[in-house]
Amino acid sequence: MSLIGIIASSRLAQPALTVDFLVIAGGGGASYDGGGGAGGYRTSAGTSGGGASAESSLTLAKSTNYTCTIGAGGAAGAGVSGGQGVDSVFSTITSAGGGKGNYGNPTANGSSGGSGAGGTFVSGVTLGLGGAGTANQGYAGGNSGIGNPGQQGGGGGGAGAVGSLGNLKVGGAGGTGVSSSITGSAVTRAGGGGGGGETTGGAGGTGGGGKGEDSSSNNAAAGTVNTGGGGGGGYANQGKAGGSGVVILKYPDSYTITIGAGLTGSEGAASGGFKVATITAGTGNVSWA
């Protein structure tokens, strides 16, 4: 074979641009009691949220722009409710923002989302119900227990489990997240926020969920940045914000990604025939060459 033929053959041998993805939305913010729900969790590289199987990898084209948006975490509650988490998007994949914790009458039920927020018990409402999760993305939030107003909130749902019931002045724990090894190391993300409780705040769900507050101090915690974790519910004080989402992409190492204006991210070194890019903030386009 001639030198020209060898060069042409090597170019033709480049593999298809097959991209594995992990797309996590922003977690929901919490107000009094009910913990925020985790952001929706969709992946082709392992188990998706809500107990779903892995989705199919995406086959993309070189020199083509693909939309990417990293969802912000929902705002901390301002008396009545927290903020809904914001959707994250890559190409045709959209993960739903986590549900927000609510406080009031008749808005004691947690909002639905990628994972649902925990419910709150308030005056005039018998029981605050946990919000629903989104199919194949996350689980529901936990209900509040029946007791005096504001004594305990349900935990926010996580990508891997339902939030726990709040009961007997103890806030429900946030649902656990889901582990992924798309980067080469196992990392759990998208845990639900713990509910606030009079005596004990609920634990944040493994994977970035914030702890719920108790009556002794303002010790609720926000969801962890770039995990999609839900915010922890308050008790005497308002709850905390949800954690922002993330998009992680894995592709053959013969390609190089361009992360466009408006996005923050980086491409890791080649390993095992692949590269991994992690995008942590913003909205814009990505492409490959």
Look at residue 7 in the predicted model and tell me its pLDDT. 40
Look at residue 79 in the predicted model and tell me its pLDDT. 67
What span, in angstroms and rounded, lies between the C-alpha atoms of 142 and 69?
29
What span, in angstroms and rounded, lies between the C-alpha atoms of 30 and 37?
8
Query: What is the mean pLDDT of each successive set of 10 residues along the chain, which is 289 residues long?
Result: 42 82 98 94 97 98 98 88 96 98 79 96 75 98 76 94 93 97 97 94 97 89 98 91 98 97 97 97 98
Quote the distance between the C-alpha of residue 105 and its chain's center: 28
Look at residue 3 in the predicted model and tell me its pLDDT. 43
Quote the distance between the C-alpha of residue 112 and its chain's center: 13
What span, in angstroms and rounded, lies between the C-alpha atoms of 121 and 236?
14
Look at residue 77 in the predicted model and tell me its pLDDT. 84
The two three-digit tokens of residue 194, written as one number: 């713990």
DSSP 289: -
Look at residue 267 in the predicted model and tell me its pLDDT. 97
- H-helix or E-strand spanning residue 133: none
Look at residue 168 in the predicted model and tell me its pLDDT. 84
Look at residue 147 in the predicted model and tell me its pLDDT. 62
Look at residue 120 in the predicted model and tell me its pLDDT. 87
Evaluate whether 129 touches 112 at the Cβ level (below 8 Å).
no
Backbone angle region of 254, left / alpha / beta, with phi > 0 → left and psi within -120 to 50 → alpha: alpha
DSSP 220-270: --PPPTTTTPPPPPBSSS---PPPP-EEEEEEETT--EEE-TTEEEEEPPP
Evaluate whether 111 touches 102 at the Cβ level (below 8 Å).
yes
Look at residue 103 in the predicted model and tell me its pLDDT. 82
The rounded radius of gyration (Å) of the Cα atoms in the chain is 20
> Structural domain boundaries of the chain?
21-244+282-289
State the pTM of this model: 0.93
What span, in angstroms and rounded, lies between the C-alpha atoms of 195 and 32?
8
Residue with the two structure tokens 């992409």: 249
Residue 196 phi, psi (nearest 5): -75, 150
- Coil, strand or helix: which one is 267? strand
For β-strands 66-69 and 274-288, DSSP reports them as antiparallel
